[in-house]
Amino acid sequence: MYLKAACSDIPVSRQRGGPRLERCPSSNQQRQGAGTKWYPSSPTGCLPGSFEASRPQEQQSLEELLHVHSHLFQAAVRPCASMVYRNLGKSGLRVSCLGLGTWVTFGGQISDEVAEQLMTIAYESGVNLFDTAEVYSGGKAEIILGNIIKKKCWRRSSLVITTKLYWGGKAETERGLNRKHIIEGLKGSLQRMQLEYVDVVFANRPDSNTPMEEIVRAMTHVINQGMSMYWGTSRWSAMEIMEAYSVARQFNLIPPVCEQAEYHFFQRDKVETQLPELYHKIGVGVVSWSPLACGIITGKYENGVPDSSRASMKPYQWLKDKIMSEDGRKQQAKLKDLAHIAEKLGCTLPQLAIAWCLRNEGVSSVLLGSSNPTQLTENLGAIQVIPKMTAGIASEVDHILGNRPHSKKDYHH
């Protein structure tokens, strides 16, 4: 009986005094004949990592070896696309091109057990970027995220944890981007997540009540204090981001490295026309969210709003109205045509949508929001579709959507 090892790194242990497993000789040893044990020929030949069990004891030992190291064999043969990593903007921080977001799901739509399953699947698939915010589920999302990281004993240095500040509490002093709330808000987030620092802290929206210099100085302060590695913006205009950059350069402070922006088939203008210029001029990249348009692009709303969907939840009446509108019905018709492209590429419509977002060179990472393991696993499969997103495929998508914004440059790969 021959056992062909699926992974050369799998250790072969032998108890003292137990049966010895003889390795097949190499071709060089066969030629030299020096101290090698000869084995009967087999149809498959003698390969490195192959063993012969000619006695019952040896067969039993091999079976025990398989049982002990079965997880290593399974990992070696499990089909899995390799994660792709990109720089966060033009900083040196490497982030997985797919990240896991916690909006709506953690502390709300899903249980803590499902949240742990999702994070485990993501982490084991190479995802290193996990995004949350102080406002998500009133701080519960951060608590759940931190508990999972602590329970799983993942190395902190292997993770990129991001959170967002603006809505911290009901008091007037517990919101906004003033120096007080940026410092106190981030301290609160770190306590909830049981972390010493986050990798990126985002300003969750612009704050017209706070001078830009105060915002940039406060963000620089929390970075200098070791509470965050970088800072970024979320839902800021290109003009506001440029102002923050200019203030940082004027006063020798730290500028933002990225902007979180909504980006999908039906929301394109900002990411495709405004932010590319910032990426090339000042190095601000994009972490995009809602690649499936809050679930619209999954096709689940083709025949109305299911009771278990996000749009059926009371706080998301606006999403339900959007789906049921005339524009919403037109979008569903376009999705049917886009499904044919996905079929041609051998992928699902959500995978096509996610890979389409990643075709843009300025997009550092796309945040996925999943409510169950099956959905997350499917979405992570978009990695395999990225190489198929040619200029021709992108043109077909543009033709169906009919909403390509005018830009100075074609950013398709």
10 Å Cβ neighbour count for 212? 16
Among residues 82, 85, 71, 157, which one has the least CA distance to residue 125?
82
User: Rounded CA gap, 318 and 327, in Å?
Assistant: 14
Alpha-carbon distances of 124 from 75, 82, 336, rounded to whole Å: 11, 11, 33
Sheet strands (E) in 64-212:
85-87, 94-96, 98-101, 129-131, 160-165, 198-203
Spatial contact of 336 and 301, defined as CB atoms under 8 Å apart: no
Task: For 148-244, list the strands marked E by DSSP.
Answer: 160-165, 198-203, 228-234
How far is it, in rounded angstroms, from Cα 230 to Cα 274?
A: 22
User: In this structure, is the dihedral angle defined by the CA atoms of residues 30, 32, 33 and 34, taken in order, positive or negative?
Assistant: negative
Q: Is 136 a catalytic residue?
A: yes
Active-site entry in 123, 136, 166, 245: 136
Distance CA 170, CA 186 (A): 16
d(CA 363, CA 360): 6
**CB 347 within 8 Å of CB 333:** no
Helices (H) and strands (E) in the chain, counts: 15, 12
Q: How far apart are CA 102 and CA 119, in angstroms?
A: 10
Return the closest-CA partner of residue 133 out of 109, 168, 98.
Answer: 168
Query: Among candidates 105, 205, 107, 195, which has minimal Cα distance to 155?
Result: 195
| Euclidean distance between CA atoms 330 and 342, whole angstroms | 19
| Residues in contact with 240: Cβ distance below 8 Å, sequence separation at least 6, in sequence order | 206, 212, 233
Q: Which residues belong to the active site?
A: 136
